[in-house]
Amino acid sequence: MTTATAFFHKFDRHADGKGLKGATTHYCPGCGHGLIHKYIAETIADFGIQDRAIAVSPVGCAVFLYYYMDMGNTQAAHGRAPAVAIGHKMANPNSIVISYQGDGDLASIGLAEIIHAAQLGLPISVIFVNNAIYGMTGGQMAPTTLVGQKSATCPAGRGLFEGLPMQVAEIMAQLSGTVFVERTALYDQKTRKRTRKAIEKAITLQMEGRGFGFVEVLSECPTHLKMDPMQAEAWVRDEMTKTFPLGVLKDDDRAPWFEMKPPEFDPERVAELVGATSVAPERYCTEFPEHLAPEDVSLKLAGAGGDGAQTAAMLVTNAAINEGFDATHIPSYGPESRGGTSYADVHVAKDEVLSPASPSPNILIAFNAPSLAKFGPTVHTGGTIIYDSSVISEVPEFATDVKVVPVPFTEIAQSLGKVLVKNVVALGALQEATHLLEEDSLLFAVRRSLESKCAMIPINEEAFRWGVKAVKEGVTHFE
Amino acid sequence: MPKVARPKPVLLPELCKGCGRCIEACPKQCISMGTEINQASGLIPVIIDADVCNGCGLCISACPEPYGLTAAGYELEDPKDLYGHRRPEQEGPVTIPDQRIPLPQCEPLVLKGTYASAIGAILAGCRHVFGYPITPSTEGAELMAKLLPQLHGAFLQAVSEVATVNHMYGCGGAGLPCMTFTSSPGFSLMLEGISYMIGAEVPTVFVNVMRGGPGLGNIGPEQADIKLVCRGLGHGNTHGIVLAPTTPQEMLDLTMEAFQLAFKYRNPVIIAADGYLGQITGRVNLPETMVKPGLPDWAVYGDEEHRHNLINSIYLSEPSLEKHNEHLNAKFSLMTTEEQRSKTYKAEGARILVLSCNTPARMAKGAVEKLRRQDVPVGLFQPVTLWPFPIDHLKTWLAPTSGTDPVTDILVVEASAGQLEDELRLALSHAGIQGVRLHHLRHMGGVLPQEPEVIEAVRNIHSNQPQEVTS
């Protein structure tokens, strides 16, 4: 018989350890919690893992688990102990995390957390205390209350209207994430021994990194069952086990798998991962395009989802920032960016973009007729509209001082064998029609964006040159 | 086999609650229910007939009390002496401080706001991110899911925002920097957990990319969670520092700073961005150093040094909970005096201040620039901390000490129904400031105030500005 235990020698957290509370639990006489605490404390002491152990206490009568357990302790919100336990396990994979919950906490309010924690399968140990009644709130119906059992909230006895009792161990056993599931009890020497063994097993599986262990313990709540402790033991044995049969429901032989290396803080590696480079990009612009706007040029690129308006906008933004200007890109996002219309607001500023939206852009690139009709009239005095003349046949009237440039983006892209590059045709056209940056600035950005798809670079370069050429030569249709 | 004398159980009657579980467990029937009330416990302990007992120990394993029935006995101090002083605390662990590591010098990056925030978190030493996908914040989580495993960190997609905040409670309680990306409806779901974090003093960082509400609303940019982040962080007396970035650069810088503030005060920090900021791409410079986090002394890390630590928000006795609240409120007061942050643009000589944060502050900045060129005396005041509201900074413009004319009018430009203005009004009221006229330009539902509207609103104020200030 072991005497080692991971209990505090004196319970200083229990009413400041004053009086007998320094050496006794807060539980009612005959309550099962004390026994389960004892088996956990003994197991942890026997295994020599007290320094690594963290107990996560629930809301319910066991909320004060941290009074007793001489180990790391975290008190969790109602139902969330397994989620908190996962946070601890990921923070320190070497810690041994015990999540302790009652039936209201685990099987009612916390059902989503326990099922997903179990299915995630990280090696933590969950001890589920099922006493078929709410203890701390004073004897209300639990999800595990038996059919016909009376409680403060089913005074006539639980019936169909209240729903049938939830068999949690069976649910846990069905989940592929768990490795070990057992239901035990405390009503006699044999079941108590099984409980102790099951707790040992769940913790062992955690120590070996094999997975998620779950022990449901049928427990006595003499106070709210309105029985003496002996009667309560008999009730669990004779009544509860009919609905909640004891036994090992699952014991998978899973090889140890859990491993998390210590986080890395190498600055070179971090810089590389976030795409930072100390190599300055080549610059081709000598000055800001003041012929378009003195300090800040605004653009709008609009089309249907899939036209590549966002990609083109990103390329302009990248190119401008590489040139040492400030630039921003706001995409339209959400449902419309996955189908429907898609537009992007871009600004290129000499020093700093102030307002990043483009309610009246200096330049509009329209990939389809609705975009041209919607945004054409908003173009700033003296601005430029470039549109896809392959798909837009009817062009509305615009102010006379707005330059309108039709370019067959789609036809050119089709003739190159890849419709997708029409946005790069548009970029070539943009450059030639406005001289926003330099051709090489945009081509550099195009090449850089295709670093991982080098084979695509030639066709994109060709698309860009065709865009330039089409504007230069006034090509509005392309066979 | 030689017969070894087994120790007989030691019953401490004071610690026995008389439940009788040991009676059923004893094969020799040597335990019986007692009849006399124990004077110390007021309960009736069992009686063991030691002569019959053979020391099998089964009664010990059946006793729900830690020290009621033991093999070795338990040195119970005289109950009447137990009501003395609490034993002195053991020497606790020592905080391992953060390290600042130089970063290689890098060219500016071109980053989306959510990405900038994610990279800021990585540079702040965060290697644990928990989250549930929600537009328009999800890209931050996606980038973390891609990058963190390569740094031996982890992104965990939680089952819900409720699970998310509790994963963070565990990880933050272990003393590690952790964060989440979320958006308004998701943030609402996290509030209970945030209240627990504030109560248990768990440092965490939340990036709330605010979208249109109420309810499912839409995914357009709004600032309508300001009341939530400034006044409504769950139940109880709660506050947390709220940082409002305006550019992708600030998304990075303020995310880094958020971790410092979270650990400095052992309190959650909220980054309140709007939907545009989540999605906007811009130029971002990396800082000169990154952080390798240490480990605070209070952490429940799961090792020998930190074994005696506890993360908990329970204070059962009313005076102790009041004391804890006073402690928390003292922290809130310190945040209020120490952590006010703001920025201004062309505020010198301004008679009108446009007060705005997040993306609307950029629209306002553009408007100020244009109005100044037309000699309208207007400047921008941009609160960077929404809580604490930077009233000490604002005050200097409202009552300048030098001979310059004070600001007489404030135009609050925001994408909410006056939530930022309410923060301003509260701050003015607490500071006892009167006499400044307040105006507003508001949009809701995913619509942002635009530069031309700000210009028009300021012009109206300017043309109606009387010669003398009235309250």
Whether omega before A256 lies within 30 degrees of 0, making that bond cis, reads no
Mean pLDDT, to the nearest integer, of B125-140? 96
pLDDT tens-digit series, residues A446-468: 999 998 899 999 999 999 999 99
Contact state of A30 with B170 under an 8 Å Cβ cutoff: no
| Across A61-70, A248-257, B4-13, B300-309, least confident range | B4-13
Among B129, B169, B456, the strongest candidate for a mutation testing the A interface, having the largest count of A CBs within 10 A, is B169
Mean pLDDT, to the nearest integer, of B354-379? 96
Query: How would you classify the pairing of strands B99-102 and B289-292?
Result: antiparallel
Of the partner residues B119, B280, B310, the one whose CB lies closest to the CB of residue A66:
B310
- So what's the pLDDT on residue A3? 63
CA distance A221 to A32: 7
pLDDT tens-digit series, residues B166-209: 999 999 999 999 999 999 999 999 999 999 999 999 999 999 99
| CB-based contacts of B454, cutoff 8 Å, min separation 6 | B354, B363, B364, B366, B367, B411, B413, B441
Whether omega before B136 lies within 30 degrees of 0, making that bond cis, reads yes
CB-count burial class (<10 Å; 0-12, 13-18, 19+) for B388: buried
Q: What percent of chain B has pLDDT over 90?
A: 88
Show residues of chain B in contact with A189, CB under 8 Å: 25, 58, 61-62
Mean pLDDT, to the nearest integer, of B3-13? 82
- So what's the pLDDT on residue B90? 62
Residue A462 CA to its chain's centroid (Å): 41
Furthest C-alpha separation in chain B: 110
| CB-based contacts of B210, cutoff 8 Å, min separation 6 | B183, B184, B221, B222, B223, B224, B225, B272, B273, B274, B275, B358
- So what's the pLDDT on residue A2? 46
Q: Which residue has the higher pLDDT, A336 or B289?
A: B289
Reading the block at residue A284, the tokens are 């081709």
Q: What angle do CA A402, A403, A407 make, to 5 degrees?
A: 140
Of the partner residues A87, A273, A359, the one whose CB lies closest to the CB of residue B166:
A87
- H or E element that contains A174: helix A168-174
**Alpha-carbon dihedral of residues B379, B382, B387, B388, nearest 10 degrees?**
-50
Tell which residue, B272, B137, B414, B244, has the closest CA to residue A333.
Answer: B137
- Roughly what angle, to the nearest 10 degrees, separates helices B318-338 and B184-200? 120
Does residue A333 register a pLDDT over 70? no
Tell which residue, A72, A264, A97, A91, has the closest CA to residue B171.
Answer: A91
Whether omega before B296 lies within 30 degrees of 0, making that bond cis, reads no
Long-range contacts of B460-468 (CB under 8 A, 24+ apart): B461/B352, B461/B409, B461/B411, B462/B351, B462/B352, B462/B376, B462/B377, B462/B378, B465/B351, B465/B352, B465/B408, B465/B409
- Shortest alpha-carbon distance between residue A461 and chain B (Å): 22
Reading the block at residue A461, the tokens are 């370069």
Query: How far, in Å, are A213, B191, B258 from residue B163 at the CA level?
Result: 20, 12, 22
Show residues of chain A in contact with B18, CB under 8 Å: 29
| CB-based contacts of B179, cutoff 8 Å, min separation 6 | B121, B126, B128, B129, B130, B168, B204, B205, B206, B207, B255, B259
Of the partner residues A86, A267, A326, the one whose CB lies closest to the CB of residue B283:
A326
- At B411, give phi and psi (nearest 5°): -105, 115
Instruction: Sketch out chain B's domains with CATH numbers.
Output: 9-83 (3.30.70.20), 99-338 (3.40.50.970), 342-470 (3.40.50.920)
- At B289, give phi and psi (nearest 5°): -135, 160
CA distance A476 to A409: 9
CA distance B194 to B49: 55
- H or E element that contains A271: helix A267-273
Mean pLDDT, to the nearest integer, of A176-192? 97
Of the partner residues A18, A265, A268, the one whose CB lies closest to the CB of residue B82:
A18
Q: Which runs of E-coded beta strand occur in A174-223? A: 178-185, 212-218
- A363-366: strand order across its sheet: A403-407, A384-388, A363-366, A296-304, A341-349, A326-331, B281-284, B109-112
- The confidence band for B38, taking pLDDT boundaries of 50, 70 and 90, is very high
Show residues of chain B in contact with A54, CB under 8 Å: 174, 300, 302
- So what's the pLDDT on residue A477? 84
- A247-251: strand order across its sheet: A247-251, A178-185, A212-218, A125-130, A96-102, A53-57, A72-75, B310-311
pLDDT tens-digit series, residues B392-442: 999 999 987 777 788 999 999 999 999 999 999 999 999 999 999 999 999
Do the Cβ atoms of B115 and B194 come closer than 8 Å?
A: no
Query: How would you classify the pairing of strands B310-311 and B178-183?
Result: unpaired
Of the partner residues A74, A228, A354, the one whose CB lies closest to the CB of residue B366:
A354
Contact state of A116 with B151 under an 8 Å Cβ cutoff: no
A326 touches chain B (CB under 8 A): yes
Show residues of chain A in contact with B283, CB under 8 Å: 321, 326-327
Q: What is the SS3 assignment for A464?
A: helix
- Shortest alpha-carbon distance between residue A472 and chain B (Å): 31
- Shortest alpha-carbon distance between residue B464 and chain A (Å): 26
Query: How far, in Å, are A44, A114, A217, B245 from residue A128 at the CA level?
Result: 17, 10, 6, 44
Do the Cβ atoms of B144 and A311 come closer than 8 Å?
A: no
- At A27, give phi and psi (nearest 5°): -80, 155
| CB-based contacts of A401, cutoff 8 Å, min separation 6 | A381, A382
DSSP helix, strand, coil percent of chain B (3-state; round to 5):
35, 20, 45
- So what's the pLDDT on residue B71? 87
Of the partner residues A112, A193, A279, the one whose CB lies closest to the CB of residue B159:
A112
- The confidence band for A427, taking pLDDT boundaries of 50, 70 and 90, is very high
- At A72, give phi and psi (nearest 5°): -60, 140
> Which chain B residue shows the shortest CA-CA distance from A223?
B19
Do the Cβ atoms of A467 and A434 come closer than 8 Å?
A: no
Mean pLDDT, to the nearest integer, of A377-383? 95
- So what's the pLDDT on residue B434? 92
- H or E element that contains B25: helix B21-25
| CB-based contacts of A475, cutoff 8 Å, min separation 6 | A407, A408, A469
Does residue B336 register a pLDDT over 90? yes
N- to C-terminal Cα distance for chain B?
A: 100
CA distance A443 to A291: 22
Among B43, B110, B372, the strongest candidate for a mutation testing the A interface, having the largest count of A CBs within 10 A, is B110
N- to C-terminal Cα distance for chain A?
A: 93
Mean pLDDT of all residues in chain A? 94
Mean pLDDT of all residues in chain B? 93
User: Token match 């389809």: residue?
Assistant: A368
A399 touches chain B (CB under 8 A): no
